[in-house]
Amino acid sequence: MNAVGIDVSKGKSMVAIMRPFGEIVSTPFEIKHTTSDINSLVELINSVEGESRIVMEHTGRYYEVLAHQLSSANLFVSAINPKLIKDFDNDSLRKVKSDKADAVKIARYALDKWQNLKQYSVMDELRNQLKTMNRQFGFYMKHKTAMKNNLIGILDQTYPGVNAYFDSPTRSDGSQKWVDFASTYWHVDCVRKMSLNAFCEHYQKWCSRKKYNFSQSKAEEIYGKAKELVPVLPKDDITKIIIKQAIDQLNITSATVESLRTLMNETASKLPEYPVVMAMKGVGPSLGPQLIAEIGDVTRFTHKGAITAFAGVDPGVNESGTYEQKSVPTSKRGSSALRKTLFQVMDVLIKTSPQDDPVYQFLDKKRAQGKPYYVYMTAGSNKFLRIYYGRVKEYLSSLPQS
């Protein structure tokens, strides 16, 4: 048995090959993530007598190139959580941190955990695309929130509170009514310098042009508030440019977010578990694809506890002798992106209150018991994941094998 430990970094990796009892097959050496170097590594591993297993840490996205290429060469590859490697065999008082030492440590881990190593499965292109889109979606959502807050901060100096005038949802093209309104009426003087009738007529034409519903009472309410507001910045070309730039940037980012949301839903609909996931309460065309993207293929999880551990919502255990801690924090060592999506699903369940849904019933019960927010949200996420695992796996097993 040959343990190949690979310490992965950006563009290059350190490789060490060991056998039981500390026998060194190959001292640590560096390879680049190029076709020629990877092919040379494959030839070297195949030339070593006996079964070989490759272990590496799944840190960021750097490991994916090696894992994909080595798996495609029919080699056994296992990607391990870095936390497990870090905690392994820390029996030295000296702290040694180098790529060579890490590669040897990973190889020793492979030898020690030989029977428990799980083979890395190459994610199919569709799932990989969906996960990449979801990460991009999260990235642009953060930017959209920052740009929205930036615009509100500027408008508070020209038209305070204008962002609260409308609660219309974001359109499929990314536009929002309050942003479009602020683009035209960017300063409070744009409204109150007109007469009431003139503004109502102007606002009605604006609604018709932008395809928004017009309300006479709403127009009068807006005009009445404008009369009482006190702006800080003057109504001039410089202020207008500042606001227009902020609005343009927000609209571009918002359009990107909605485009990704649509594309993710279309991509997820091609996966077999899509109808089962979308039928679950609290899940819609936005959160459903996000769940599928972050969980991936459920068949790679051996049991329900494995998927909750992957999400980091599994309850811990703390016992010693006669002592048993009743409330133990969850591990939070899994996918933070998945935990965020699960909390959003729980938030939807709480707001919609589907009385026939077992997860909502569980959440409501925990809330009624006076449990803290994070306790019942995490417990609800755990239950939701277990139901998700059971329903999706049962459905996939019922499909005809191709």
Q: Write out the two tokens for 389.
A: 């695992």
| Mean of pLDDT values over 26-54 | 91
Compute the average pLDDT of residues 267-281: 94
For the residues of 321-388, what is the DSSP string, one character each?
TTEE-SS--B---S-HHHHHHHHHHHHHHHHH--TT-HHHHHHHHHHHTT--HHHHHHHHHHHHHHHH
- Contact between 52 and 74 (Cβ < 8 Å): no
Q: Which two tokens stand for residue 82?
A: 């870095």
Contact status, residue 294 vs residue 285, Cβ threshold 8 Å: no
Residue 150, phi then psi, degrees to nearest 5: -65, -45
> What is the per-residue pLDDT for 263?
95
For position 301, what pLDDT does the model report?
85
Neighbours of 3 (CB within 10 A): 25
How do the residues of the chain divide into helix, strand and coil, expressed in percent and rounded to 5? 60, 10, 30
Q: Is the pLDDT of residue 393 over 60?
A: yes
Binning pLDDT at 50, 70 and 90, where does residue 84 land? confident
Q: 2-122 maps to which CATH number?
A: 3.30.420.10
Segment (H or E) for 113? none
Does 327 have pLDDT greater than 70?
no
- Residue 43 pLDDT: 92
- 211-227 average pLDDT score: 94
Phi-psi region of 323 (alpha: psi -120 to 50; beta: other; left: phi over 0): beta
| Cα gap 363→333, rounded to integer Å | 23
Residues 256-270: tens digit of each pLDDT: 999 999 999 999 999
**Residue 289: how many CB atoms within 10 A of its CB?**
30
Q: What is the DSSP string of 49-97?
A: SS-EEEEEE--TTTHHHHHHHHHHTT-EEEEE-HHHHHHTT---SS---
Contact criterion met (CB below 8 Å) for 281 and 354: yes
- Which pTM value belongs to this model? 0.77
